[in-house]
Structure 1
């Protein structure tokens, strides 16, 4: 799948109510995960907007929480994964690697 085909996944156009319906999470739970810096919606006129990628992320968070993983550990894991992606991107750019 190319970036162009995948780009819809990252557009922040979904309201919190729809995200709640899609995930089965309450709006309060979704806002809590935002407070814990696990999810980062855009805001337009005070209204939160989410992407399909955010919905997937929320489902992963919910599954980990059901397994008893604390939000602190989830955030640490997400930070580690982000660092690894950034390092890989920097290395690819340095060595001019294009997948």
Structure 2
């Protein structure tokens, strides 16, 4: 049974609202997309749609950029974090399968 995505993961926020929430310009948000730091979905009309997690990630990216961290370094750290999360998820799945533990 497929789990319904969290409201934080639903891509429903326009780039204008994201810009207001983060204080970043729309151009800067598009730049981070070009650098593969965020991955908005596109509506049928081609408009970008973001999630609350995207907003949180953009705020984190902005904070790191203010501290002098390069986009390349940010991308590398995000990649490591995502690989680690995927590995943890796989291990949890194996343990659940082995010992019959189910998350409620």
Same fold (TM over 0.5): yes
Instruction: Say which SS state the counterpart of residue 37 (structure 2) adopts.
Output: coil
Looking at structure 1, the residues matched to 6 and 66 of structure 2 have their Cα atoms a distance apart, in angstroms, of 30
Instruction: Say which SS state the counterpart of residue 79 (structure 1) adopts.
Output: helix
Instruction: Name 1:85's counterpart in structure 2.
Output: 85
Residue 55 of structure 1 pairs with residue 59 of structure 2: no
Q: How many residues align?
A: 96
Aligned-residue RMSD, C-alpha = 1.5
Rg larger in 1 or in 2? 2
- For residues 33-86 of structure 1, what are the alpha-carbon distances to aligned partners after superposition, in whole Å with 9 as ceiling and x for unaligned? 000000000001210000111100000000000000000000000000000011
Looking at structure 2, the residues matched to 98 and 85 of structure 1 have their Cα atoms a distance apart, in angstroms, of 19
Cα deviation, residue 15, structure 1? 0.4
Q: Structure 1 residue runs of 4+, over 6 Å off?
A: none
Decide whether the 8 Å contact of 1:61 with 1:74 is kept in 2. Answer: yes
TM superposition score normalised by structure 1: 0.91
Cα deviation, residue 7, structure 1? 1.0
The answer for unaligned runs of 5 or more in structure 1 is: none
Instruction: Name 2:72's counterpart in structure 1.
Output: 72
